[in-house]
Amino acid sequence: MDIGADDFAELSPLLEELAGFSESGGPGVTRLLYTKAWLDAQMFLAERMRSCGLEVRFDRVGNLYGRLAGSMPGASVVLTGSHIDTVRAGGRFDGAYGIAAGLLAVARLKEVYGTPVRPLEVVSFCEEEGSRFPLAYWGSGNVSGMYAERDGSGIFDHEGISLEEAMREAGFGLSSQPDSRRSDIGAFVELHIEQGVVLERMGRRIGLVESIVGQRRYSLTLSGKPNHAGTTPMKMRRDALAGAAEIMLELEERAWHAGDPLVATVGRIEATPNTPNVIAGEVRFTLDIRHDDELELERFSQGVLDASRFIAESRQLTLDIRSWLQTAPVQMDSQLVKVLQGVSAGMGITSRRMASGAGHDAQVLAGICPSAMLFVQSRDGISHSPEEYTMPEHLQEGAAVLANCLRQLAYG
């Protein structure tokens, strides 16, 4: 008897409950690393895992695991899950879906098939988005060895709180807590919403991710001279905000010329003193650049940085560039993708192999174990937005495909 979509009627209510753990005021869900909303969500999930009969533990950076022990001594772990943090004003599915569905899938497998051969675990990674601190994949990166815990030192949020301080405040970072690094994972399968329009347009139900784009993220700080907006002639200005605007348009123009699949974004900007009648003395902003080809990504990124330096110099501004994320494009494990494809086909569910333009914990886990991803449709391809939506029947179907994949991996 296969597990089916009907087994996951609890999924939407669980996602609804999780969405309640958010900074108040909305719009959408905001659950940033080590904040109260984040901690409450992790504790809620821990309780839910316990009530499903899973052994629960947190690691030193705050990743949460629920474990169903297997019968084979020393067998490697079959892991599923995703990230609990969100972007600011994000949706209720990005990350949360993979955890909620993973938890219910493992619970259902336990009910129907009992003890697996290999241990089955569901993880709620503490951070993936890079929304609070200038660093992304902190959760999965500490598991894979991409980061060591000490890499959190010298990293500050925009309020000047250090990552270490926030981690301690949330109750983590203690030497008595289990090391985050793992070498016992045999396979990782992450279920996620697509966050794009491919599945919807193609009329397919499941996306089988073959590759994930590479990314570069930078923080740029332009410094000029704050001065009076009424008395400073245009020729005498060193306007950091005008310089930032020129860099942004240059970035956009270059990205248009480069064409798909290159994408480039300035998503965050802070001007100082940010006052209508003062020329901005300092502007800090971010660049997010992505491509599925590492050479193209690097060439484009360096070109943009060179152009930014040129623009800054021509305006007598100083420019400080800080690179804080560099990931290469990653291939998913081809054998695992075949397993996911076979399971979908066996359930009579249409699927499509595809690339992911979003980053995911699976690309980090791919460094230590065979990893793959399943996508379900996102309505109108909208994500990182309060408008993010996937129909319950699609969510449940994805969870059923995940459960049957986990069954094949852990019970076979």
Q: In the complex, which residues of this chain contact ligand HGY (CB under 6 A)?
A: 128-129, 136, 358-359
Residue 372 near residue 363, CB atoms below 8 Å: no
End-to-end CA distance of the chain: 14
- Pick 128 or 333: Cβ nearer ligand HGY: 128
Half-sphere exposure of 347 (CA within 13 A, CB side): 24
173: left (phi over 0), alpha (psi -120 to 50) or beta: left
Q: Which does 165 bind (CB under 5 to 8 A by kind): ligand HGY, Mn ion, none?
A: none
Q: Residue 359 binds which one of Mn ion, ligand HGY, none, with CB within 5 to 8 A depending on kind?
A: ligand HGY
Query: Please, which residue, 7 or 194, has the CB nearer to ligand HGY?
Result: 194
Helices (runs of H) and strands (runs of E) counted in the chain: 11, 16
Phi, psi of 154 (to 5 degrees): 80, 10
| CB-nearer residue toward ligand HGY: 95 or 243 | 95
Nearer to ligand HGY, 226 or 357 (CB): 357
Assign 257 to helix, strand or coil. helix
Partner in contact with 282, chosen from Mn ion, ligand HGY, none, beta carbon below 5 to 8 Å by kind: none
Is 303 strand, coil or helix?
A: helix
Residues 6+ away with beta carbon under 8 Å from 150: none
Work out how close the CB of 337 gets to ligand HGY at its nearest, in angstroms, rounded to a whole number. Answer: 20
Compute the least distance from the CB of residue 66 to ligand HGY, in Å: 23
> What is the nearest approach in angstroms of Mn ion to the Cβ of residue 274?
26
CB of 386 to Mn ion, least distance (A): 13
In the complex, the residues that contact Mn ion under the rule CB under 5 A are 94-95, 250
**Residues in the chain, how many?**
412
Beta bridge partners of 389: none
Shorter beta-carbon distance to Mn ion: residue 94 or 149: 94
Binding-site partner at residue 187 among ligand HGY, Mn ion, none, CB < 5 to 8 Å by type = none
The secondary structure of the chain in percent helix, strand, coil, rounded to multiples of 5, reads 35, 25, 40
Shortest Å, Cβ 298 to ligand HGY: 18
- Rg (Cα) of the chain, in Å, rounded? 22
Output 63 or 404, the one with its CB closest to ligand HGY.
63
Shortest distance, position 316 Cβ to ligand HGY, whole Å:
34
The entry of ligand HGY, Mn ion, none that residue 194 binds, CB within 5 to 8 Å by partner kind? none
